Amino acid sequence: MTSLPRPKPDPVRPARRVAAGEHGLRGTLTGEARELRARGRRIIDLGLGDPAAHGISAPPTVEAALRQRLDDTRGYSDEAGHLSVRAAVAEHFRTRRGLPGIGPSDVWLGNGVSELALLTLQALLDPGDEVLVPDPGYPMWSAYTGLCGGIAVPYPCTEADGWRPDLDVLTRLAGPRTRALVVINPVNPTGAVWPPETLGELAGVARAHGLVLFSDEIYDGIRYVPGPHVPLAALAPDLLCLTFGGLSKFCRVPGLRAGWVVACRPPGVARAYLDALTSLAALRLSPNTAGQYAIPAALSAPALRNAAALTAPGGALHEARTAARTAMARQPGLRCSPQEGAFYAFPRLDLPAGVTADDFARRLLRERSVLVVPGGHFGTADALDAHLRLTTLAPPAETTAAFEQIGDLLDEVRSEHAEEGGATAGPASSFP
């Protein structure tokens, strides 16, 4: 009898730190959706937060600037980005964000917030250093912390509190190894906008524990609540607050990979750290030059007006959000906190015991051709396993159709479970 040859151990193994940077950023189902599409299936994609993919075009001034500057985009720029572009970002922060001291040397440009988040964490963290990250929150922050050898410590934000942080718990989580506190506002995935009081309290925690604030404000221009966006840095003038933003969301050009980080701080603070950041920025030579040239145009008054119109009645984001709210209100098995900013809905599903949002999302793709991200990808709390994150970017008819599919599948899952004798609330919702 001949025995089958044993498979040889694969000699190429990935670095262990990659496992520490595990994330579900694009969701586990993206690959499967791609294959289904390749086989001709039409998928309603409410997965990735890419406005351009839903045909929401960039402001005309930005498109024009891109075309005009094409010839200038062949070379590298300075390591931190082109001086004139950094000056435009600094001016934006001084005149529109109420941060008077900011100059071009406080600004670093990068290939999206994604690259700058990695560089700024790499420059800060030693192995074992801890970073407080919102839970739920955008998983890039905990993934990069792990990749840099740090430990992401999730601080809970619960639905009962409007997805705002529990300050008592947060304070208890800050310890001797904690170096930084990440804030995302408006929040991906919950759509919450944290008010100035909450931001002030977070600044207080950073102050008490000597933490660097990392404020991811990439959705600052996408709000449905009255009043201007309040930057965290304005409430923490005595601390180093790194404020992140870019063109991927409000300007709808994520493919340009254009972002900035602004170091807001009292004079003289964090010099060595910021030199280390510049040194890491030099290692990648320069950010994408074409993306940089779009930034001054994106921060011009006409482009900002154009962006603001998106969230006003009649605007694409306003209409998609309204369609999502109306459609969710028709589904008794869905409940969703008001979406105050960004372009995501994060509804809770009244799932039968034992069925997770992961299971549900998989069936939703395979049987109903709708792609969403299960809530568990955004944090560690068990409660997230009953949530889905959906973008509110698609035209209203598509958004409505997607929620109808979700409602139908939910009914189907619940009645299957009831037939199997499982504990379920019956056709109506079991939400209190």
Q: Which is nearer to ligand PLP, 150 or 254 (CB)?
A: 254
Strand bridging mode 212-216 / 241-246: parallel
Residue 168: closest CA among 155, 182, 152, 181: 155
Structure tokens at 107: 């600004």
Burial profile 38-74: b = 16 or more Cβ within 10 angstroms, e = fewer: eeeeebbbbbebbbbbbebebbebbeebbeebeeeee
Residue 50: closest CA among 119, 139, 116, 112: 112
Return the residue nearest ligand PLP (CB atom). Answer: 112
Rounded (10°) CA dihedral 111, 53, 183, 312: 120
186 cis-preceded (ω within 30 degrees of 0): yes
Give the 3-state secondary structure of residue 130.
strand
Chain mean position to CA 56: 18
Which residues of this protein are in contact with ligand PLP, per CB under 6 A? 49, 112-114, 138, 140, 184, 188, 216, 218, 246, 248, 254, 259
At its nearest, how many Å lie between ligand PLP and the CB of residue 342? 7
Q: Which is nearer to ligand PLP, 182 or 365 (CB)?
A: 182
At its nearest, how many Å lie between ligand PLP and the CB of residue 92? 16
d(C-alpha 272, C-alpha 227), whole Å: 37
Q: Which is nearer to ligand PLP, 81 or 259 (CB)?
A: 259
Q: Which is nearer to ligand PLP, 134 or 333 (CB)?
A: 134
Burial class (CB in 10 A: 0-12, 13-18, 19+), 22: exposed
Q: Which is nearer to ligand PLP, 90 or 184 (CB)?
A: 184
At its nearest, how many Å lie between ligand PLP and the CB of residue 80? 16
Q: Which is nearer to ligand PLP, 77 or 248 (CB)?
A: 248
At its nearest, how many Å lie between ligand PLP and the CB of residue 156? 18
At its nearest, how many Å lie between ligand PLP and the CB of residue 318? 19
At its nearest, how many Å lie between ligand PLP and the CB of residue 319? 21
